[in-house]
Amino acid sequence: MEIASFIARSLKNSGVRFVFGVPGGPSIPLMEAWREEGIPFILTSHEGASGIMATVTARISSAPGVCHATFGPGAVNLASGVGAALLDRSPLIAFTTEVPDTMLARTTQMKIDHQKLFSAVTKGTWRLTPQNAAEVMTEAIKLATGEYPGPVHVGIPSDAGSIDIPSTPAGSAGRGKLSTAVRGDIKSKLKGASRPVIALGLTAARRNITHELLSLLERCPMPVVVTPMAKGVIPPSHPCFAGVLFHAFSDKVEAFAGNSDLIIGLGYDEVEFNYDSWVPPGLPIAHFNTVLSDMPDNYPVVMATGEPDSWFEILRCLPESADYMTGRDPASLINEIGELFGGMSDRWGPAMVMSRVCEAMPEGALYSCDVGSHLHMAGQMINISSPDQMMMTNGWSSMGFGLPAALAIKLNRPHSEVVAFTGDGGFLMSVGELLTARRYGLNVIVVVISDNELNLIKVKQSWRGVAPYATDIIGEDMFGSDRCLGVKVIQAICEDSLLAAIEEARGMSEPVIINARVKGDDYYRMIVRR
């Protein structure tokens, strides 16, 4: 079997549905092999978007995401998207074309060391040869899907795609069950707590612990806070839900959670928000995760490391009681935050834009959200029933995420209505992907919250007493036209025009942009200073 065919068969056996990328000449054997195995190659406008789309695909599906780029600059561009898989914990395989063996010691066009490049943003990187192809593909899939899941890189010499390799069965690597290691006096900590708070994190979302969590809360109701990417693990209407950490008005959530005698971190991944950024010094932490974590030194921490079923087996030692909620009312906190948003949603601005769009969409609508001030609003404000309903990046936190993420959602969930929330700055970083949307007929609604500035930087400049500098985008309408790369732009400058724009956009069978022109004043009130 040729190397290209072997790679394609390995990916097919692992459940891979798409490969995202920008090809080079040596990519042709790979692309043909993927096509023969029924794996479409999705052409993007920028390699960074390929990495983002592969990352989001991995989060939606049970298989690794896959992306591809050519030599040098293509690989460098790809790395910016691959990093999202690393810090947002998504299994991904990044393929790049590399120079052949005969040029490794030579000076030549577009040549850089891909292994050095990708070593900083992956769990592992290999240069594939006919001799190691079977071993590399097996190990790459196993490493990408193991805890924490993340990206790996496989470099393929440009002359290797059509070379035969020894016949070796291609298969997918399963997720091994990790052993449980319990350190310290975790059970006595749990039994001795009278005012515990549960903090859910990214691992809880990835490992889908909702059922077990709700069973625990039925027996032992207690307040539950979540990091942004864990929103949806507990229904927002649940009486124990006490808000989202890190995002808008989270100082109120942190004060509520800090008034406890034990933090129970369930699948809490500090890649989103470090414990010591919100837990009062000295407050005990009982930390449950799939891998050992680096924990702050100035806290009494005990850890249980293993699969989620082992977490809940240990948590059975909690005495059954409703007293954990005594004197604490999460519903009042949620209502208070809702009233703060409500006051903003009643006048034209970013909160009104986001709330009216969500109100107009069906219950099963799916969302992506770019990085910026609006993300802080979305993370706290938008109610979702599962983490997969809203895709964001909070570990990697790269602007330009929103549009390609929405396209990946639509490819994987073609019958769902999909909305991308982005600021004008993030939109400009990925605007070329509008052509990707047109090319594949992806009718997503792109809501650009246009405040004409890099607002989050401007807010942070104000915290330092610095005059705004290098944050203005342009002093007029960013689009200046009713079309952008062939995609219709609908202007929204007030509530009535926004509602009309949403109705029109939902009736379209092609991608559409709603350009919501607002001022960013509300963000100064809702973003918590760090």
Q: Sketch the domain layout of the chain as residue ranges.
A: 3-157, 181-328, 347-526
Confidence at residue 467, expressed as pLDDT on a 0 to 100 scale: 93
The dihedrals phi and psi of 337, each to the nearest 5 degrees, come to: -65, -40
pLDDT class of 321 with cuts at 50, 70, 90: confident
pLDDT digits (tens, 9 = 90+) for 254-293: 999 999 999 999 999 999 999 999 999 999 999 999 998 8
Residue 177 has pLDDT above 60, yes or no: no
Do residues 116 and 56 make contact, with C-beta atoms less than 8 angstroms apart?
Answer: no
pLDDT class of 461 with cuts at 50, 70, 90: very high
Domains 3-157 and 181-328 share a fold: yes
Give DSSP secondary structure letters for 138-199. Answer: HHHHHHHHSSSP-EEEEEEETT-TT-B-------PPP-PPPPPEE-SSHHHHHHH-SSEEEE
- Using alpha carbons, list the distances in angstroms from residue 223 to 214, 280, 326: 12, 17, 10
Beta-sheet strands, E only, within 283-405: 285-289, 301-305, 366-369, 390-391
pLDDT digits (tens, 9 = 90+) for 4-45: 999 999 999 999 999 999 999 889 999 999 999 999 999 999
Confidence at residue 164, expressed as pLDDT on a 0 to 100 scale: 58
d(CA 144, CA 95): 13
Confidence at residue 119, expressed as pLDDT on a 0 to 100 scale: 96
Tokens 């291609």, residue located: 170
Partner residues linked to 157 by β-bridges = 98
Residue type, 414: P
Residue 372 has pLDDT above 80, yes or no: yes
d(CA 388, CA 57): 11
Confidence at residue 413, expressed as pLDDT on a 0 to 100 scale: 97
d(CA 157, CA 174): 28
Which has more pLDDT, 89 or 130?
89
Confidence at residue 157, expressed as pLDDT on a 0 to 100 scale: 93
Partner residues linked to 155 by β-bridges = 96, 127
Q: Does an H or E element contain 381, and which?
A: helix 373-381
- CATH T-level topology, domain 3-157: Rossmann fold (3.40.50)
Which has more pLDDT, 161 or 514?
514
* pLDDT mean across residues, the chain: 92
Residue type, 480: G
The dihedrals phi and psi of 15, each to the nearest 5 degrees, come to: 85, 10
d(CA 474, CA 466): 20
d(CA 178, CA 134): 25
Confidence at residue 176, expressed as pLDDT on a 0 to 100 scale: 32
Residue 168 has pLDDT above 50, yes or no: no
Q: Average pLDDT for residues 384-399, to the nearest whole number? A: 95
pTM: 0.92
Q: Average pLDDT for residues 110-138, to the nearest whole number? A: 93
Confidence at residue 108, expressed as pLDDT on a 0 to 100 scale: 77
Residue 180 has pLDDT above 70, yes or no: no
Q: Which CATH number fits domain 347-526: 3.40.50.970, 1.20.1630.10, 3.30.830.10, 3.30.565.10?
A: 3.40.50.970
Q: Angle 134-166-164 (CA atoms, 0-180°, nearest 5)?
A: 100
> Which residues are CB-neighbours of 313 under 8 A, at least 6 positions away?
none
- CATH T-level topology, domain 181-328: Rossmann fold (3.40.50)
The dihedrals phi and psi of 259, each to the nearest 5 degrees, come to: -85, 65
> Which residues are CB-neighbours of 53 under 8 A, at least 6 positions away?
18, 20, 42, 44, 65, 67, 81, 404, 405, 407, 408, 411
Structure-derived torsion over alpha carbons of residues 328, 331, 333, 336, reported in degrees to the nearest 10:
-150
Q: Average pLDDT for residues 346-372, to the nearest whole number? A: 96
- Using alpha carbons, list the distances in angstroms from residue 14 to 10, 174, 405: 6, 9, 22
Residue type, 22: V
Structure-derived torsion over alpha carbons of residues 512, 399, 73, 39, reported in degrees to the nearest 10:
-50
Confidence at residue 181, expressed as pLDDT on a 0 to 100 scale: 42
Would you say how long the chain is, in residues?
530
pLDDT class of 163 with cuts at 50, 70, 90: low
DSSP code of 304? Answer: E
Q: How far apart are the first and last CA of the chain?
A: 55
